[in-house]
Every structure is written in structure tokens, then in C-alpha cells.
Amino acid sequence: MIGKGGVPLGHVALVHEDAERAESIARVLRGVGHRVTVVIPGRRVLQHVLDCGPDLLMVSLSVTDPSVLTVARGVRQALGPDLPVLVLYKYDVSDAPAETDEIVREPADAAELELRVGRLLKAQSEKRILQRKSQELLGLYKMSWAFSLAGGEDALFGHIARQVAEQVQAERGVVLLYDQERRQMVAKSPAYGFSPEHILRLRYFVDGEARSRWNFRKNGPLLSNKAKADTRLLSEFVSDLGVQSLMVAPMTRGPEFLGLLLVADRANRAPFTEEDLNLLLAMAAQATVAVENMTLHSELKRANTQLQEFDRLKSEFVGIVAHDFRKPLMAIRGFAELVLEEPDLPLETRQEFMRTVINETEHLALLANDTLLITQIETGQFAFNWSEIDLGPFILDAVPLGLSDHSVLMDVPAGFPKIMADAVRLRQVITNLTMNAVKYSPAGGSITVRCRERGTDHILVEVVDHGLGIPPDQVGKLFQKFERVRTTEHLAISGTGLGLYICRLIAEGHGGQIWVESELGKGSTFGLSLPRDASKLARLAREGTTPPPPALVAPAENPAATSSAPTPEKTDGTDPA
């Protein structure tokens, strides 16, 4: 507090053996605004002085029991060597202890008393400010080291939270980062004084709040010593936090907003002050640099890993191009040369050779399309094109007809609900599954394509054949790139091993799943589960609020069958079996 003429006001402990004199001195000082506690000497004089926690000790030299020296030393020992001591004397000043900062003769002139006390308190307050500043600087210096030495993302948030909280003697501290994609403020773990489970719950949407309310984002720094009753705060967030008092400093770089530094609850329940907030702001600037460095570092690491992955995919494709593209290319070249070099070839043979050239060219084009599509989906460059689909006519169109050795039965209940999906890609999946059913049933037989509803939100498409089937030990791999069943019969049928992998990418791109149940020599059932509205699901996934996928259907008809969910890395723990 500051009094008249810029003089700081303080608490004076006045030890005097003459109660009347003491009161008249106290009146003078109180008149200017100081607080004065008069202590009459006796056995517990030291304790009384300490109890009032003075900013200045004023003691009369005529105090003898205990001596002025004992009182002055005792008080300084307890409250710090800088506590100013003013001695009042009547007759002889020579007994004044070395600890004395000022001496005033009694009866003191009121103006002189005011002046001396004011001067001492001013010096004292300046000294305290300097001390605090150097403490803060030391703290900031130590903190910047701690931040820069912190290893990794996880350690950094914990370091910042603890260091910052300790600097302002708060019991809790946490860093909240702004997630631009989700438009959410998200508390980062580890924090200080909050459990990891608690931190997981601490998040809130930043948009859509009343402007009058503090949104922890746009309104700059904040100090609230009664957080629960503070109408500027987001009450739900404060109750999630479960704190009494808090301070928040934004972490910004220019116009860019990174997040917030939040500390809460003073260790001794004392209120936070403006000075604490200023210190927090200084620390927030340091924390911003540390968080930014860490973010850049993680981004760099992520980009590097992604590059390595792209590089691996590229090499893989180059390998495939060399292998799978060479066979048809050699055939095209061989037959073309024959036609060119043998002018006497009978017309029929020539036509047959040219048909082979055309077929191999088509095969190459398909292979090129498949590899391109895979690269686009894997690298996130593929955008699905959602439209409404009436599955009955759609499946009729997607399934190959006019097969001589196979009969195809379509089973789509009347009034089957329309779904939202990517028509071109869904057609690709259904065509691929039925073509496989035909291909891998070389002896012919019936193939069934059926659709069923699953709950209110999903549909199921199944393609059933009675062909070669799949050995149990290979069923789990088929939805991976280039995987083919390794039996003589299967390998005799030409294929690339990319079709089912593409089906899986498309199914997952729709928020769905694909799997197979099969028995060697008896046949296979490929199942495809899709949400009724994949566009909605894709949108939710972008916003990070994807509902959990439904449990897969159990293989109902053939319990002995071997089945496989497509993704070995599947995390929801469900399995079609």
C-alpha cells in the first residue's frame, strides 16, 4: 500500500516501556496511514513482536528487560536481517545496538517521525521488490534450462506445469494446447497436482461461448481467486478442474494462439496477486518457445517417418512393377513380334495372338490403376465421393452376369434402405468379391450375393461361393498387399493379390470392415459391413468423435469355418469369430 507522497505504508511494531508515550507515537504514525502495534516490554515481548509480523521495528532505548539488543537481534533472526530497526532514545544514544538503522530523539517531532519511518519503509519496500525480481529472474533462468533440457513431449508438459506452479507457490499447474482441427482446448499430460485420469477429462470446445464469459482463449490473461463463483469463467470447465483459485496466461506467438498455462490453488490458500500473474505471463513466454520447439521437433520426426514410409512403399511398388508388369509386357512383346515376323501365320492364329495382346494390355492397365489407387489411399490423397445408393439395382449392376459355369443368386430384401457410399468404389469391392468367387470356384457352382441390415446404422453384404476355399493358416493374411493363397490350385489362377487389399482400404475408408470365413475345399463367404451413412462417419472421424465400430457378425452357418478379420492391427478387440 502507498500513502501520501508515494511513501509506502507498513506495519510498525513499537516496543516501549511507557504506554502513554507509545500511544502518542502510534497516533502520529496511524495518522499517516501506517499500522502500529504497541508492545509493552516483558517476558513475551519477542513473541508479541513476531506475531504481528512487522515491516519495521521501533524500540525505545530505555527498554532493558530484555535489552534492546536482544529484541532487535531476535526479531531479525526470525524475520530476516533486512528488517529495519529504529531506536528511540531520551538521554544517551551510545547504548544503541549496531543493528540500528535510524535513531530518533524523544519526544520526537511528529514530522521527523513520519519522515524517518517513511524513509525506512520505502528503502525496505524497494529492497523487497529488488529481491523478488532477482528471485523471479533466477526462477525464469532456471526454468528456461529445465524446459530446454526436458526430454520429449511427455516430459516437457510435466516440467512446465511443475516449474510454473512452484514459482508462484501453486498446488497445481497444467498446460492446455489448442487443437485447431477439433477446435478444442486440451489439457496435456503430465500435469502437476492433477492425476492423469483427471487430465484426460479436461478439455472444452472453444467456439460457441458467450463473449461475455471468459473463454480461456481470446480474453488474455486471467486471475480469479473465487473461480467457482466467477461468472467470466466457463463454469463446467471450472467444476471439472475442481479448483478454488486460478491464474491463466495465454501462450501466443504473434497472432498465433498455441494454448494456455494454468496454475491453481495457492499452497497456503493465500490469494494470487497481479504480481503473480505478471510472473506467470513471463513464464508463459518461455513455455511457448519450449512447446513450439517441441512441436516443430515432433513434426519433423513425423514427416521423416512418413517420408521413410513413402520411400518404402515406393520401393515396394517398383519391385511389383518389375515383377508383375514384366510378365504381361513380355507376352505382348512376344506375340507382337510373332505377328510381325511371321507374315504367313493363318488368320485365326494371328487373331488369337492379337487377342492375347489386347488381354495382356487390359491386365496391365488394371494393374496400373490398382497400384495408383493404393498409393492415393495410402498417402491420404484419395477423396471418397459420397452419393445415395439403392443397393438392389446397384448390386445387380455390379455383379457379372452371363457366366456359363456359375449361377449367381442375388438376395436383397425388398425395401432395403438406401445407403450413402462412394458408388464407384463400392462397385469395385462387390465386383472384385464376386469375380473372385467365380475365379476361385473353377469347377463352377452357385454364388450368392446377399444384403442384410445390421442394427439401425449398418448394412452387411455377403458373397458366398462353394469353390476352392482357403487353408486356415493363410486366411488371416489375404487382406494384405500382394498376398495370395499358396496352393497349386490357387496359384494356377492368375491374379495380383491386390484386389482384397484394395477392398479393405475402401471398406475402412467407409468406416466399415471386411472379413472372410472359409473352409478349404468347401468354399468361402466374404463379408462387408458398412455404415448406412459413410459420409457422416467420415465427417465425425475428421472431427475426432468417431463412434466405436459395431461388433462384427459371428459366422452363423458354419461354425467349423476359419474366419479372419482383415486387419491384424485392429484395436477394438472385436472379431467376427
Tell the smallest beta-carbon distance from residue 441 to ligand ADP (Å).
7
Of the candidates 498, 520, 538, 552, which one interacts with ligand ADP according to CB under 6 A?
A: 498
Smallest separation (angstroms) from ligand ADP to the CB of 574: 23
Q: Is 562 in the site for ligand ADP (CB under 6 A)?
A: no
Q: Which one, 16 or 466, has the nearer CB to ligand ADP? A: 466
Interface pick for ligand ADP out of 163, 288, 371, 524 (rule CB under 6 A): 524
Does 191 bind ligand ADP (CB under 6 A)? Our answer is no
Helix segments in 325-439, DSSP class H: 326-341, 347-378, 391-398, 423-439
Of these, 371, 436, 562, 563, which contacts ligand ADP (CB under 6 A)?
Answer: 436
Q: State yes or no: residue 509 binds ligand ADP (CB under 6 A).
A: no
Binding-site member from 102, 171, 360, 465 for ligand ADP (CB under 6 A): 465
553 to 392, 516, 537: CA distances (angstroms): 21, 11, 20
* C-beta of 220 vs 319, nearer to ligand ADP: 319
- Sign for the CA dihedral angle at 7, 12, 15, 19 comes to positive
How many chain residues touch ligand ADP (CB under 6 A)?
20
Looking at 500, 520, 552, 561, which residue binds ligand ADP (CB under 6 A)? 500
How is the beta sheet containing 184-187 ordered, strand by strand?
203-205, 184-187, 170-179, 256-266, 246-253, 222-224
**Quick count: other Cβ atoms within 10 Å of Cβ 470?**
27
Q: Which of 420/468 has CB closer to ligand ADP? A: 468
**Dihedral (C-alpha) 342, 345, 347, 349: value to the nearest 10 degrees?**
-100
Residue choice 176, 199, 470, 565 for contact with ligand ADP (CB under 6 A): 470
Is the Cβ of residue 267 or residue 491 nearer to ligand ADP in the bound state? 491
Shortest distance, CB of residue 408 to ligand ADP, whole angstroms? 13
Is 511 an interacting residue with respect to ligand ADP (CB under 6 A)? Answer: no
Beta carbons within 10 angstroms of residue 392's beta carbon: 16
Minimal distance, residue 470 CB to ligand ADP, in Å: 5
For residue 563, state whether it binds ligand ADP (rule: CB under 6 A). no
Minimum Å gap between C-beta 409 and ligand ADP is: 15
391 forms part of the interface with ligand ADP (CB under 6 A): no
Q: Is 468 in the site for ligand ADP (CB under 6 A)?
A: yes
Closest CA to 117 of 128, 101, 98, 96: 101
Question: Does 471 interact with ligand ADP (rule: CB under 6 A)?
Answer: no
440 is a contact residue toward ligand ADP (CB under 6 A): yes
Q: Is 170 in the site for ligand ADP (CB under 6 A)?
A: no
Q: Which of 122, 427, 484, 570 binds ligand ADP (CB under 6 A)?
A: 484
Residue type, 241: L
Q: Which residue is nearest to ligand ADP (CB)?
A: 495
- Considering the complex, what minimum distance in angstroms separates the CB of residue 319 from ligand ADP? 17
Farthest-apart Cα atoms in the chain, separation: 144
Q: Please identify, using beta-carbon distances, which residue of 54 and 512 lies nearer to ligand ADP.
A: 512
Query: Rule CB under 6 A: is residue 472 a binding residue for ligand ADP?
Result: no
Q: What is the 3-state secondary structure (H, E, C) of 252-289?
A: EECCEEEEEEEEEEECCCCCCCHHHHHHHHHHHHHHHH
CB of 308 to ligand ADP, least distance (A): 26
335 is an interface residue for ligand ADP by CB under 6 A:
no
Selection from 58, 83, 53, 78 nearest residue 68 by Cα: 58
Residue 399 C-beta-side C-alpha neighbours within 13 Å: 27
**Residue 506 lies near ligand ADP (rule: CB under 6 A):** no
For position 475 contacting ligand ADP by CB under 6 A, the verdict is no
Q: Does 399 bind ligand ADP (CB under 6 A)?
A: no
496 lies in the binding site for ligand ADP (CB under 6 A): yes
Instruction: Give SS3 for 458.
Output: strand
Segment interacting with ligand ADP, rule: CB under 6 A, options 70-78, 461-469, 527-535, 537-545: 461-469
Helix (H) or strand (E) holding 237: helix 235-241
Q: Is the peptide bond before 576 cis (omega within 30 degrees of 0)?
A: no
Counts of helices then strands in the chain (DSSP H, E): 15, 19
Q: What cell numbers appear for 486 in the block?
A: 499358396
**Residue pointed to by grid coordinates 476355399:** 469
Shortest distance, CB of residue 564 to ligand ADP, whole angstroms? Answer: 11
Q: Reading across the β-sheet that carries 102-105, which strands appear in turn?
A: 35-39, 11-15, 56-60, 85-89, 102-105
> Within a 10 A sphere around the Cβ of 546, how many other Cβ atoms?
13
Q: How many CB atoms lie within 10 A of CB 389?
A: 18
| Closest approach of ligand ADP to the CB of residue 489, in Å | 9
Provide the binding-site residues for ligand ADP, judged by CB under 6 A.
432, 436-437, 440, 465, 467-468, 470, 478, 484-485, 490, 495-501, 524
